[in-house]
Amino acid sequence: MNVWAIDKDIPLKLLLLELVHQYGENTLALSDQVRHFQSIELCTVNEPNISAYIYTFGQNAGRYGIDLKYPISAHNIVGENEGLSLDQIIEILSIHLFS
């Protein structure tokens, strides 16, 4: 994934660079259905039914929001994790996608 070629917000690119650094180049997949400049949806290539929707819109500078998605939609966590730092987002993603 060429992070700099993706038409996304700089904070999202920084997040993607950190994730590629920690987990490797071909570990994560971006959903091509998310078209908003300030949002991405990530999953691991091996588990596409568990994903995370990460966004910077409606957040203070340098802050993120994240929605956690599961195979059973009743278990999704939406709108409860906002105003988070990069480190907090990475910690949530490591638990949600890699545990």
Ordered by start, the domain boundaries in the chain are 3-98
**pLDDT at site 18:** 96
Q: What band does 95 get if pLDDT is binned at 50, 70 and 90?
A: very high
Q: What does the pLDDT look like over 61-81, one tens digit per residue?
A: 999 999 999 999 999 999 999
**pLDDT at site 1:** 64
DSSP track, the chain: --GGGS-S-HHHHHHHHHHHHHH-TTSEEE-TT---TTEEEEEETTEEEEEEEEE-TTS-TT-EEEEEE-SSGGG-EEEEEEEE-HHHHHHHHHHHHH-
